Chains A and B, each alone.
Chain A
Amino acid sequence: MADVDNPAFDVSLVKGDRQWRPLVEGPAGRPPKRLTIGRVALYVILIAAAIFFLIPAYVMIMTSIKPMDEIRAGGMLSLPLSPTIEPWIIAWSSTCSGLVCDGLAPGFFNSIKITVLGVFFAVLAGAVTGYAMSFWKFRGSDAVFAILIFGAFVPYQILIYPLARIYSSIGLYGSLAGLVVVHTMFGLPITTLMFRNFFRTVPPELFKAARVDGAGFIRIFLQIILPMSAPIVIVAVIWTATGIWNDYIMGLVFGGRDSKPMTTILNNIILGEFGERRYNVEMAATFITAMVPLLIYLFSGRWFIRGVTAGSVKG
C-alpha cells in the first residue's frame, strides 16, 4: 500500500538517495542539550527571520481593525487603541468595486463556486489521466504528458488571447462555467503529474492480478486505484484549491460582470479608492481574501508541503 510517507512518493526528490530522511519527519536526531553561543545565535537568526515573514500579516490585521484617525496618526506597528470591526463590515458588504457597491461578498461566493468545481474537475481529470497513462500505456501518452507539462510552464500571455477568442465564439466568455473550464485545463498538468508519480509506487502486480480476474478499466479505477489514492487526492486538492483561489489573471480575463473571483474584485476595490483612501477597509478586504488559502495552509500543514514539493518538481 502506498502511503504518503513512503520515500518513493516524492519520486523526483529521492531517486537513488538511500540516505533519505522524510521531510515531514524532521531532523536526524534530537536537539543538543547544551546551549552554546552558536546555538543562541542560531535561534536569534531563526526568530528574526520568522518576524520578517510574519510582519506583513501582522500589519495587515492591525491596520484592518484601526479607525482611520489612528492610522493617519502613524504608528503602523502599534496595537489599536480603540479596535473596530467596522472596516471589515464595509469591506465585506458595501465598499465599491467599479460601479458595484456590494463589497467583497459576491466575489467570495464566486471564488467558492469556481474553486470547488475547478478543484473537483481538475483533480478528477488528473486522476483519470494519470491512471490511464500509468497502467494502460500506449503510444502517444508520453507525448501528451510532455506537452501538458510544457503547457503548465509557459507564460499565460502566450495562450490567453486565442483562448479568449475561442471562449467568445462558443459563448463561455464571462461565465462561471468558463472559469471552471479554464482552471480545469490549467490545473490538469500538475494533477496529472502528481497522480502519475504516485501510481509509480503502486506495485504493478496489483493491477495485473485485477486484469487477470477480468476487471476492466473503470472497475479497476473505482475499486482498486481510487481507494488507495487518498493521500495524493488530498495533496492535489489542497494544491489546486490554493492555486485557483489565488488566481488573478484568469479571473481578470475570463470573469464577467457577475462572475469575477475575489482577487479581481479586491484589486478593483483598491484601484477604485479615490481621494481619502481608507487603508483600514483596504487591509480588511485584503486579509479577508487571504484568509481562505491561509486557513487551508494552516490546517493542512504537511500536505501543503507535499503539494509544494510534488507540484514544484515538474517533470
Chain B
Amino acid sequence: MNSWIARFALVPAAMVAFGVFVGCLLWTLVLSFTNSKLLPSYRWVGLDQYEKLFSSSRWAVSVENIVVFGIWYIGLCLLFGYILAVLVDQRVRGEALLRTIYLSPHAMSLIVTGLVWAWFLNPQLGLQGFLRGLGWESFSFAWLADPNLAIYAVVIAAVWRGTGLVMILMLAGLRGVDQEMLKNLQVDGVPKWRVYAQVVPPIVAPMILTSVVLLAAGVINSYDLIVAMTRGGPGISTEVPGKFVMEHFFARADVGVATAGATVMLAALVVIAAPLLYLRSRISQRREASGG
C-alpha cells in the first residue's frame, strides 16, 4: 500500500522527465529532419534543414560570436573569480560584506544586466561621455557602436554578472584545502603566489570543472543578455545561436531550421560538458580511493 503511494508520488516527476524533457527533445529532433515551416509537418527531408542552417551567413556569424564570447567569458570569469576567491580567503576584514557585493549581480536578471550595461556603455551619454566631460577629450570607449567590438562589450557585462558565482564556488573549494599543507609550504620558503598559481589549482580542480560546465551551459543558452543589451546589433554583429533559433521559431516561422539549430546547440553542450563531467567524477573517485 505504502510503496504504492510512494510510486504514485513519483508520477509527476516521471511525467516531467519522460513526457516533457525526453518527449519534447525527441520531437524537436524529429522536426529538424522535416520540412516544417510555420506549423509542424512530417515530410522527411533528411539533412536539408541542417544544410540550410550551415549555409546561412547569419548562423555562421552567430556561431563565431558565441565562440569568441564563450572563450573570453569563461576565461575571464575563471581568472577573476579565482583571484578574488584567493584574495578574500586571506583572512580579510569584512569578508562577508565583500562576498555579498561580488555576488550581488547574480541576483539580477540577464535582462536587467543587459539594459544597465547598455546604458553604462552608451557611447554618447555613458562612460565615454562622462570621462570626456571631465576633460579627457581623447577618451574613446564606444564598443557598443562598433560591429567589431560590440561582442566584447557583452563579454564585460556577462563577466560582471558571472564572476561572483565562480568566486563563491572557488572559495568553497579553497575552504577545503588543507591549511597545514599550505603553512608547511610557506615554512619551506615557497612564495605565496607560487602556492596559489601551481599548488592550489589542481586541488580545487573539481570546482574549476564545475564552474566551466556551468559557465559553458550559460554561454550556449545565451539569449536574454543579447536581447537586452544589443538586440543582436549593430547589424547582425552580436547575433548568437540562441537568438537565431528563437527568431526562426516565433518570428520567421521556419521551424525546420530552428529545430536544426536547437539540435546543434544541444550537441555542442553535450560535446563540451560530457568530458568535463567525466573528468570531474574521475578526480573525485580517485580522491575517495586515496582516502583524501
Chain A residues within 8 Å of B, Cβ to Cβ: 10, 13-17, 19-23, 26-32, 42-43, 45-46, 49-50, 52-57, 59-60, 63, 71-72, 74-77, 125, 128-129, 131-133, 136, 138, 140-141, 144, 147-148, 150-151, 153-163, 165-166, 185, 188, 192, 216-218, 242, 245-249, 253, 263, 266-267, 270-271, 279, 282-283, 286, 289-290, 293-294, 296-298, 301, 304-305, 308-309, 312-315
Contact = CB atoms under 8 A, between A and B. Distances in A.
A307 B13 CA distance: 21
Q: Which of B10, B98, B126 has the most CB of A within 10 A?
A: B10
12 contacts: A19-B178, A27-B89, A31-B93, A53-B105, A157-B258, A158-B28, A161-B259, A263-B224, A279-B125, A289-B111, A308-B103, A308-B165
B175 A248 contact: no
Contact of B125 (A14, A76, A129, A133): A76
A42 B98 CA distance: 13
Interface stretch (B50-58, B146-154, B213-221): B213-221
B109 A246 contact: yes
Contacts, number: 298
Size bracket of the B interface: 35 or more
Contacts of B125: 71-72, 74, 76, 279
Given A132-B6, A161-B255, A297-B104, A216 B1 contact: yes
Interface stretch (B41-49, B68-76, B137-145, B261-269): B261-269
A272 B17 CA distance: 38
B130 A144 contact: no
B22 interface: yes
Nearest to A301: B100
Contacts of A308: 103, 106, 165, 168-169
B84 interface: yes
Interface in B150-171: 160, 163-165, 168-169, 171
Contacts of A76: 120, 125-127, 129-130
